[in-house]
Structure 1
Amino acid sequence: FKPGTEIVWQRVPDYWGAKLPVKIGRENFDRQRFSYFLDDNASWQAFTKGGFEDFRVESRAQRWAVEYTFPAIKAGDVIKAEYPTTSPEPMQAYVMNTRRPLFQDVRVRQALTYAYDFESMNRTIFFGAYTRTDSYFEGGDLASSGLPQGKELEILQQYRDKLPPELFTQEFKLPVYTAPQSGRENLRKAYDLFKQAGWVNRGGKLVNEKTGEPFRIEFLGNDPVDERVAGPLIDNLRRLGIDATLRIVDDSQYTNRTRAFDFDMLAVAGFQQSNSPGNEQRDFFSSTAADTSGSRNLAGIKNPIVDALIDRVIFATDRDDLIAATHALDRVLLWNYYMIPQWHLGKIRIAYWNKFGIPEKQPTYSGVDQNSWWIDPDKEKALAAKYKSSN
């Protein structure tokens, strides 16, 4: 290995588990080289030239839609493929730090949610690729929907007097921006909620009605791409009179600040769930984790009902009980507006140099398993000869 540059892994030739059924047909590469790039654009350029990166999981919708036009693509030497996934989608969101007094009123958090125009972003920036996330357990049978009923309702009834009454009478719906008039309506709704929480517009600035303190939010990010993610929301917040800004920091500073919960709002954060939620929910959402430096409770959630529902999930007696408890937890998290949900894709976008043999069937849970691939020596030699001069 070369610190900060690359590391090469070599397969153990006499690995004791090579003949186990779960290993047959997998882990076919003798050597794997990982090269480190500090900039995504540099990594992208290296991939287009060949010889540095054999396959690339693409996370940028714009690049996938319009930038895969380099010569190797046109020649059929790089293949684009999409693999659908059936696993739960992560809750990707703007995360409000409720440790800050600014975000402790649920009406403020709901107002900020009303200011987010996903539909316009999806249409103009993401080429219509994404679907709005509206559950902490998106995908599968763990996501809440409709009105609570059955065992889930029975669980929630225990806390009825401490929950928003709308939780029992209205299906949770995120605001939708389908037309110019809906944008105005949503921003008007946002302002009404701010006003109920004690914030008013004076001279074009949203200020505290009693103290005159301006409403300020700094979004924290660690990638220039975060400007595209946070920018449209910041624009809408400024229309409401909010002093909203974005700060991009390097990875080390970002890690230190998130571990210490030193931020107003994160431009993007993800919370991956499984089909069998359990103890990890404490690290995500519990009151104890809210005060534990380095935990995943970035939002600072300190809610005794959430704590009780997490225990209900962990100690579920069977699958039906787990589903009901998870629905209840999901619903309480959503109605408290701790985060502004963003989007998910539902498939893996991958591009690869045409040097591999790939099984026709790939695991739908993860979308694709590169460890089931193998190198076709003839294809590899042909590519190496064809693109040798460009490297």
Structure 2
Amino acid sequence: LDPRAKWHDGKPITTDDVIWSFQVLKANSPMYSRYFENVTDAVAVSDREVEFHFDQKGNRELPKILGDLVVLPKHWWEGTDATGKKRDITRPTQDPPLGSAAYKIASFKPGSEIIWQRVPDYWAAKLPVKIGRENFDRQRFSYFLDDNAAWQAFTKGGLHDIRPENSSRRWNTAYNFPAVQAGDVIKQEFKTASPEPMQAFMLNTRRPLFGDRLVRAALTYPLDFEAMNRTLFFGSNTRTSSYFQGTELASSGLPQGKELEILEPYRDKLPPEVFTQEFKLPVYDSPQAERKYLKTAVDLFAKAGWVIKGGKMVNAKTGEPFKFEILGWNDTDQVLSSPYIANLRKIGVDATLRLIDQTQYINRLNNFDFDVTISQLGQSDSPGNEQRDFWSSKSADTPGSRNYAGIKNPVVDALVDRVIFATDRDDLVAATHALDRVLLWNYYVVPQHHRSVVWMAYWNKFGIPEKQPTYSGVDQNSWWIDADKEKALAAKYKSGN
């Protein structure tokens, strides 16, 4: 621990805080409990050092994860609130929690806004990693329940100054309002070199409907990415074909060398295609492609015991219709789902979309209460313990995990451990190739797309370093307010710009 480290109330951060935080998070956080699966305990070896004990050797990433441990103020959480009631870290609170970072909560209105105020005597302000960052004295975050309302607020200025843009349609057609034309709102692309997330329709295999790999494979073929990219995304997206897209960790070709050695012991438990075919998603590159791929889907359904009768895909034995719901919460989910649903209906599959409010959506997602949903799974250049949260059999039954597909596969479990306990970089790359390939050939998701740039629009009141981090594309915490630009905007628009 840095001897200068202190909480916002002036008390020092102690090893007792670190140990208590480890114990509380391991016991109460699904994510941390999986990350800390191989950590048995933590003990103080001096006033400034904590030693963590592991029950296994070779988990090379775990020490780094422990270095990222969120440290919480034990004295504050074990104290009482303004009413004299003892605080409970397992329950929600409207007490602004005590922190130790560059900002603290100045005020908030539940469901409306929260204001962060920079801490004038922040203990880490002069550390090399902090120089040039966290330059705003005050940040206000306003909550909008409707994306169109947020968009309108941005176009007017004064309330919404920086807007990351995800909509291809809006980026290409809507940034023509007067402030853009006058150069007072800037559109800018920031390129990224980081791994691309797996954005996909997540098929919940906890539902018997998606238990058959052939059925899941069949559901992959009706997605016409090329038409969607052309008609909806202005050609700006690229199809995602790996869980580790954009890195050397993505599998390709056929398994060979060390990857083949890793997969060989599981040959009889894996789809034969893992060893004989390169994984490829359908490409709708001609007018004939739709007929070809929809027929492939129908053939796969037939092998799984489903046939078309009266225009409906039904179970050949029971007559049960193949019907499922895609759960979403915003307009983007509708854009992504509608073309897919239309193609599914061409082969008799009755798919529908249900949009619910975000709070309800999060609760249902955490409890895996959905048939299919759209989500993203991000990766790093060094995968490790988080893979348990994504794919392990244990996480499939743990509410709040990111194993949305409900994967319970002993081979996947073994490969996850193989990634976590990789001996060196070459071993890690080979193990990740193997994991990627097995996940792909089991068709747990219907992959969508990615975009290797960050779209950002902002009112022209900021100073921005020329070099932005390629791993994230943009670092807003390195920006600052240009006082002259801000003054000019305020005078021109008579607002809070």
**Structure 2: distance between partners of 1:7 and 1:355:** 22
Q: Which amino acid aligns with 1:196?
A: K
Runs of 4+ residues deviating >6 angstroms: none
Q: Deviations over 1:141-186 (max 9, x none)?
A: 1111111111111101111111111111211000111112011100
Identify if the C-alpha distance between structure 1 residues 137 and 389 changes in structure 2 by more than 3 Å, giving closer, same or farther. Answer: closer
Please, which of 401, 405, 412 is the counterpart of residue 295 of structure 1?
401
Give CA-to-partner distance per residue, 1:80-104, whole Å, 9 cap, x none. Answer: 0001101111110001011111111
Match of 2:294 among 182, 187, 201: 187
For 2:381, the equivalent position in structure 1 comes to: 275
**CA separation in 2, counterparts of 1:367 and 1:390?**
28
Percent of aligned positions that are identical: 72
CA distance in 2, matches of 1:120, 1:96: 22
Structure 1's unaligned 5+ residue stretches are none
Letter in 2 for 1:259: N
Alignment equivalent of 1:149, drawn from 235, 246, 256: 256
Could you say which residue in structure 2 is the equivalent of 1:94?
Answer: 201
- 2:96 corresponds in structure 1 to none
Q: Which one-letter code corresponds to 1:197 in the other structure?
A: A
| Pairing 1:127–2:201 present | no
Match of 1:219 among 326, 330, 340: 326
The residue type paired with residue 312 of structure 1 is R
Establish whether residue 333 from structure 1 lines up as the match of residue 433 from structure 2.
no
- Matching of residues 158-177 of structure 1 within 5 Å: 158-177=265-284
> For structure 2, which runs of at least 5 residues remain unmatched after alignment?
1-107
Counterpart position of 2:337: 230
- SS of aligned partner of 2:123: coil
Q: Pick the aligned partner of 1:45 from 148, 152, 171.
A: 152
Contact 1:49 1:390 in 2 (8 A): no
What is the alpha-carbon distance in structure 2 between the residues aligned to residue 102 and residue 330 of structure 1? 24
Aligned position for 2:130: 23
Judged with a 3 Å threshold, the aligned counterparts in structure 2 of structure 1 residues 390 and 307 are, in CA distance, closer, same or farther, namely closer
State the structure with more CA Rg.
Answer: 2
SS at match of 1:252: helix
Q: Which residue of 2 aligns with 1:69?
A: 176
TM-score under structure 2 normalisation? 0.77
Cα pair distance change 1:312/1:384, threshold 3 Å: same
For residue 279 of structure 1, report the CA deviation from its aligned partner. Answer: 1.1
Aligned partner letter, 2:478: S
Offset at residue 390 of structure 1 (A):
10
For 2:301, what is the secondary structure of its paired residue? helix
Cα distance in 1 for residues equivalent to 2:218 and 2:111: 43
Query: Which amino acid in 2 is paired with 1:265?
Result: V
CA offset digits 1:199-254 (Å, max 9, x no partner): 01111111100111111011111112211110011001111011111111111221
Which residue is 2:310 aligned to? 203
Residue 310 of structure 1 aligns with which residue? 416
Deviation at 1:14, TM superposition (A): 1.4
Corresponding position: 1:354 with 2:460: yes
AA paired with 2:317? K
